[in-house]
Amino acid sequence: MSEKKCLFRGAATALITPFDEKGQVDADAFRRLVSLQYQSGISALVVAGTTGEASTLSLAEKELLLQIAKDEVKGNIPIIMGAGANDTKNALFLSQNAEKNGADALLLVTPYYNKGTKEGIRRHYEEIAARVHIPILLYNVPSRTGVSLSLADYARLFKQENIIGVKEAEDNMEKEAWLSYSFGKSASLYTGNDTHLLPFLSLGGDGIISVISNLYPKQIEDICRLFSSGKAERAREIFFALLPLMKLLFEETNPSPVKYAMSLLGFGAPYLRLPLFLPEEPLQKKIKAALSCISF
Catalytic residues: 139, 167
* Other CB atoms within 10 A of residue 266 CB: 6
- The answer to whether the CB of 81 falls within 8 A of the CB of 66 is yes
CA dist list (Å): 123 to 146, 159, 160, 250: 18, 13, 11, 31
On the 0-12 / 13-18 / 19+ scale of CB atoms within 10 A, 60 is exposed
Alpha-helical regions (H) of 168-293:
173-183, 197-202, 217-228, 232-248, 256-264, 281-292
- The answer to whether the CB of 145 falls within 8 A of the CB of 116 is no
For 80, phi then psi, to 5°, come to -105, 125
* Other CB atoms within 10 A of residue 100 CB: 10
CA dist list (Å): 103 to 47, 65, 222, 283, 288: 9, 11, 25, 36, 36
- The answer to whether the CB of 238 falls within 8 A of the CB of 221 is no
